[in-house]
Amino acid sequence: MINGILWVLGCQLVGEVLVRSLDISIPGPVVGMVLLFGVLSLRRPGSESGTLRFSDGLLRHLQLFFVPVSVGIMVHASEIGQQWLPIAGGLVFSWAAGLVTVALLASWLTRRRGAEAEVRG
């Protein structure tokens, strides 16, 4: 388990150092995620690996870790009240636009690939 914690924290640390020294705007933990993905692809650990068990444990209670940030809403309550229209409009419209774009493009591309395979087959 200690090894698992070291791998996860180590990937984040390297990620944080990389984004700062290269001055890129991607969050450090996201770079850490890419690094850990690379490590897992190379080492292919078994299901008993500490890294997998530690990560699964963190992810089972992922919502716990954004409770403190969410409590910060109390500081912004009046802002939300004043700007409810752009908030609600932006959220609903961009959510639907993103979902529709992915759904239509992906179904067109998979259907096209399916049709090509039939012609070749």
Partner 1 sequence: MAETLDFLRDSPLTWVFVTLAAYRAGLWVRGRTHGHPLAQPVLVAAALIIALLAVLGIDYDTYMTGGGLIHLVLGPATVALAVPLHRQAHHLREMALPLVVALPAGALVSIGSAVLTVRALGGGDALQNTIAPKAATTPVAIAIAEGIGGVPALVAAFTMLAGMLGAVFGPWLLDRLGVQDRRVRGLAMGSASHGVGTSRSLHDSVVEGAFAGLAMGLTALLTSVLVPVVVALL
Residues 18-37 binding partner 1 (CB under 8 A) are 25-30, 32-37
CA distance 118 to 115: 5
Q: Is 1 in the site for partner 1 (CB under 8 A)?
A: no
Q: Is 9 in the site for partner 1 (CB under 8 A)?
A: yes
Q: Is 120 in the site for partner 1 (CB under 8 A)?
A: no
Q: Is 115 in the site for partner 1 (CB under 8 A)?
A: no
Whole-angstrom distance between the N-terminal and C-terminal Cα of the chain? Answer: 50
Question: Is the distance from CB of 16 to CB of 32 less than 8 angstroms?
Answer: yes
- Could you tell me the smallest distance in angstroms from the CB atom of residue 55 to partner 1? 4
C-beta neighbour count of 32 within 10 angstroms: 21
